[in-house]
Every structure is written in C-alpha cells, then in structure tokens.
Homo-oligomer: A and B are copies of this chain.
Amino acid sequence: MDTKRLTAPAAEEILGRYYPVLDHGFVALVDYMGSDEAVEQAARVSYGAGTRKVSQTRGLVRYLRRHRHTTPSEMVELKFHCAMPMFVARQWIRHRTASINELSARYSLMPLLFYTPAEEHFALQSEANKQGRAGGAPAAVYREAVERWEKLRAAASDAYSWMLEEDVAREIARIDLPVSTYTQWYWKIDLHNLLHFLSLRVDPRAQWEIQEFGRVIAGMVKRVAPLSYEAWVDYDLESRPLTRAERDVLSRLVDAKADGLSARAGATVSPDDMKDAGLSLREIRELVEKLQAPERPDFELDFARFRSAEDVAAEMYQAVPGDFQ
C-alpha cells in the first residue's frame, strides 16, 4: 500500500513474519508508527525559533536518551503478536504502560502446547541470587523431570478435552492447565516504555525464558529505530548507576579535569575503606562489576529462522483439542 506516513524500510522487511522463541513461542512485529525521525520531530517542537540546530538526528537522539528526556521516544509505537508460556506472560504483564489483547480461555479453546526447558537451561537454584539459576543439574534429574512433565501434561490435556466433551464451561475446564501452557496476545507499546521493558528483561537477573523474548524484540527495535536502539545500548543497557558513595570512592582514585582524566599515583581503596564510605559487602561486589569494560551486545535477528504467519497459525490450531475449526 502507498502511504504518506514515515516508513522504516528495515522494519518493513520483517513486518508480519514470525520469529520462533523457545519451543512453541514466537514474536512478530505486526505494525509500527514512526522511527528515529519522529523522536527528533517531537523534540524539535520544544526547540522552536531562537535555538541553534543540533546538527544531526543521531546527536539529538543520543542527547535525549543520555539526559532521560524520554517523552519524545513515546512518539514511536510498536505492535507485536507474541506467544509465550503463561509463567512468562505473568512476568511480562507487570509492565502496565502497554495495550494487550490476550487469547481468552473463557471464550476459546486453548491449544495444548507446553514449554519444556532444554537440558542446557535446566538448572539448579542459585545460592548467590535467590531468584536465579546456578550451573546445570545432573542428567538423571533432567530425565526424570521431563518424564514427570510429560505425564502431567498428558493428564491435564486429557482432563481438559474430556470436560469440553462433557460440555463443561470452558472457564472451568481450563483451571488445571499448568503455567507452562502457551498463551498469546497482541502487545502494543511505545518506544520509551519498550526500551524500559527491554532493560529489565534482557538483564541476566530476569528469568532466562523471558530474556529470550527480550533479545528477539531488541532485534526488532533495531530495525524500527536504529539510532534510538544504539543510544539505548550505550546509555541504558550497558550503563550502570554510580551511587553517591561510589562517586566518592572513585574520586580518590581518579583525578578528573577538563583536560583529561588521570589515575592518582599509588591510590588504592580497600574493602574496609569502602565500608567506611558506606558501601555494604554486596555494594562492593556490585562496584567491582561496574568498573569492568563492558561488552557491546548485538541483537541481530537470524533471517533464516523466520516463519510465515500461516505456518504458525496452523501449528496452534492443530494443538486445539477435539474437532473444531
């Protein structure tokens, strides 16, 4: 179709194509509005007559993000079609500034698709991080877990199908489906709130399964608004807050002047010094991490993995119990 609207050619290439995530999930960019130029246009309304022109879109987009002037980013909107296990959906929906329409298990029959973690992501409870995973579990434990899941899901599927055949209300029939069951929704969100979502959800402390969705979505954002994406990596994702006490500690090690930075000769700060400055043991560990040179992550999509909407819809429909159309 022909349009006068701002168009992002790299986004058009992937529009409506389905990217697989986990064993039965997906993310598809199904619509978008605006791009980096829309961020710039909105910001420039504030800089009317009598202001100097910032020379480039890139400079302005980076300036805005660095200084947390986030409202212009709200002018870009993205809409996705996604399928994910319910336990992932429950984390995702905590982000309130978004529009969602989800498959209703009161109206509809649920496709009986369940998430099974691959062996390399089946992990033990982390000691250090109370909500995380540690190294791999023994192979025998994984095998038994898979067996138990298979039995449970077969029984849950069987109960669900039987109740539907007995004409039990759908809203009751579904109450024993496990939270590993896949659901799906349309999800629409502006760029500012989406980047905030990504900062939290591609973080290593997020559950690995939702990170997988985050990484694919980040790759899609890169195609809608590449300059905003780059500024987000530099100023949000790979940025770390330097707290009041940490700034104090660092100023003892580094002499920062307009003509350059230099290490103060022989300066050291011991853990005890840091404690005296108000840092807890945990904060000391955090500071050490912040002072490592960061990697620049890449969220490039692998075009070979895209599937068609028809394929994906067919898989969903075949997983619905009984003989419905």
Contact = CB atoms under 8 A, between A and B. Distances in A.
Contact of A108 (B47, B66, B115, B244): B47
A296 B278 CA distance: 13
Interface in A221-256: 233-235, 237-245, 247-254, 256
Main SS of the interface on chain A? mixed
A131 B5 CA distance: 32
B31 A294 contact: no
A288 B262 CA distance: 11
A108 B260 contact: no
A143 to B, nearest CB: 12
When all copies of this chain in the complex are counted, the total is 4
A177 B288 CA distance: 39
Nearest to A170: B125
A104 B151 CA distance: 26
Contact of A268 (B86, B125, B178, B260): B260
A66 B242 CA distance: 10
A308 interface: no
A103 to B, nearest CB: 5
A265 B12 CA distance: 52
Contact of A177 (B2, B179, B233): B179
A303 interface: no
A184 B42 CA distance: 11
Given A240-B241, A256-B291, 20 more contacts: A1-B4, A2-B12, A33-B77, A45-B102, A48-B316, A49-B111, A49-B324, A71-B94, A77-B77, A87-B175, A93-B93, A96-B96, A134-B169, A144-B162, A152-B152, A179-B179, A238-B243, A241-B241, A251-B292, A254-B263
